[in-house]
Amino acid sequence: MNVNESQENYLERILLLQRKKGYARSVDIADALGVTKPSVSHAMRLLRESGHITMDENNYIHLTDSGMAIARTMAERHEGIARVLMRLGVDEDTAYEDACMIEHDISQQSFEALMRLIKEGMPPLDDTQ
């Protein structure tokens, strides 16, 4: 899963577009992420070369197994972190915006601890530390 933050964002966006529209094209990705078409073309070339996506003859973008694994991980983190933030009182737009920044840098251990907050509620603070 050796990709950078930008590539993670592209893979996640491809997954979200596929879920919403049933397909993903470069123009859709550019619109969704607010980036230029040349930027998307460059990113798609890198993702294709690294084996995370394929493109068919109609220029539809498909996630490979490795691309899908990364995209699902990022989407899960994004949604989970946003839910935690909203439960803490952060408004939805801000929660999703902040979650997008946090999802790339948070450790798996910390992410799992946040998800436990959603399931089990907030544990009491240990004042002995």
Express each pLDDT in 54-105 by its tens digit. 999 999 999 999 999 999 999 999 999 998 899 888 999 999 999 998 998 8
Q: Looking at the structure, tell me whether residues 14 and 49 fall in a common domain.
A: yes
Q: How far apart are CA 83 and CA 88, in angstroms?
A: 9
Contact between residue 91 and residue 26 where contact means Cβ atoms under 8 Å apart: no
What CATH number has the domain bearing residue 57?
A: 1.10.10.10
Q: Looking at the structure, tell me whether residues 63 and 86 fall in a common domain.
A: no
125 lies in a domain?
no
Domain that holds residue 83: 74-119
Q: What is the pLDDT of residue 120?
A: 81
Among 29-38, 46-55, 74-83, 111-120, the minimum mean pLDDT is found in: 111-120
What CATH number has the domain bearing residue 96?
A: 1.10.60.10
- pLDDT over 70 at 123, yes or no: no
Count how many domains the chain has: 2
Dihedrals phi, psi of 125, to nearest 5 degrees: -75, 140
Cβ neighbours for 87, distance < 8 A, ≥ 6 positions apart: 117, 118
Q: Looking at the structure, tell me whether residues 10 and 59 fall in a common domain.
A: yes
Q: Looking at the structure, tell me whether residues 56 and 25 fall in a common domain.
A: yes
For 13, 15, 32, 64, 106, the CA distances from 68, given in Å and listed in that order, are: 11, 7, 18, 6, 20
